[in-house]
Amino acid sequence: MLRSIFVAPLVVALALVTVAPSRAEAQQPSAQTRNAARDAYGRGQTLFREGRFAEAETAFNEAFALIPNPVVLLGVAESRERLGNVTGAIQSLEQYLVLRPDAPDAASIQGRLTTLRATPGTLSVTSNPEGASIAIDGTDTGAVTPAELPAPPGEHTIALSLEGYEAGTATATVSPGGRAEASAELVALPEPEPVVEPTPPATEPVEPEPTPPATPSEEGPSAALWVTSGVAAAALVGGTVLGFMALSREAEFDDMPTAGRADDGERFALFADVLFGVAGAAAITAIVLFLTSDDGDDDAGGEEEEDTAATLTISPSLGRRGGGVSAQLQF
């Protein structure tokens, strides 16, 4: 704070009397003017101490208008600074140094001016539409419009970007402690043209090639052939087992004849005969199926040969002393 504004009114009055004559001896202010200037300056000091800075500035300016004493400009500068008018404070201090080049406090005033000239200002940034990202002098601020941002004194370039719109720019000059505005109208980008997929050329349908008939070498044995072959093998094995059992009972009967051994031997022998008969019939059937299967060949005229069919009739026969199976194959 500039302390010079708090000097006693008597000291200021003496300064008004002593400084003014040195500048223009021929233009001495009247006693009434000096009293009015002294009263205005004292009123300015009182208002300043009460925190009524706008009224204090008015009073100091009134005193300076009556008698242009450079010392009064210090009170004007201090009042303006308290009101946030940094630019006005700088102007008052610069005027003070011009009117009083031999001021004993010139060094401190210059330091004060350096500080005031570096005071950041406020940059108000808006856009239409809102929500655009803000970059100041190439640095992203992380803010979106509208926004109030601090900025150092000087000229600045503001870049605004919003998805779907062309980037916008604006310039603004921020005074020390002052407020500047920057605004931009963003232009919407044109809608992208839809991508049309090319239509493939029409092609004639390709008929599938006929599948050639399977040759006999590609066809495997029929299911009936496999079944009859399996039955023949199973019956043959079963008949063999029962045959051995019948022989065993016969040997036991020879060593020790009993009615039970005799009956067992006859039953085993009967069942063995039946199974051997089934095995023989199944084997014959498998052979017939194998020989009579369709070979798939066509004759020279392109007509299919008539299918051949074979009929096998198996008739088991049982008797008191034995049994068997009769088979009849008809082509």
Q: What is the pLDDT along the chain (331 residues), one digit of tens a residue?
A: 444 444 433 334 334 434 444 444 446 889 999 999 999 999 999 999 999 999 999 999 999 999 999 999 999 999 999 999 999 999 999 999 999 999 999 999 999 999 999 999 999 999 999 999 999 999 999 999 999 999 999 999 999 999 999 999 999 999 998 899 999 999 999 987 787 777 777 666 667 777 766 554 445 566 776 777 777 787 777 778 777 777 777 777 777 777 776 677 677 777 777 777 777 777 777 777 777 765 544 444 444 444 445 555 656 555 555 555 555 555 5
Quote the pLDDT of residue 273.
74
261/268 Cα distance (integer angstroms) = 11
Tokens 């300016």 sit on residue: 61
Domain boundary among 57, 91, 117: 117
**Do residues 106 and 128 share a domain?**
no
Burial of 272 (0-12, 13-18, 19+ CB in 10 A): buried
Number of neighbouring beta carbons within 10 Å of residue 174: 21
32-71: b (≥16 Cβ within 10 Å) or e: eebebbbbbbbbbbebbeeeebebbbbbbbbbbebbbbbb
Distance CA(122)–CA(181), nearest Å, equals 8
What is the count of structural domains for the chain?
3
Name the domain boundary from 117, 142, 172. Answer: 117
17 assigned to some structural domain: yes
Going by the DSSP 8-state scheme, the letter that residue 57 receives in this structure is H
The enclosing domain of 156 has a CATH number of: 2.60.40
Domain end point (choices 134, 165, 185): 185
Is 199 domain-assigned? no
Could you list the residue range(s) of the whole structural domain that residue 154 is in? 121-185
The CA–CA distances, whole Å, from 210 to 114, 214, 254 equal 100, 12, 73
Query: Does the global pTM surpass 0.85?
Result: no
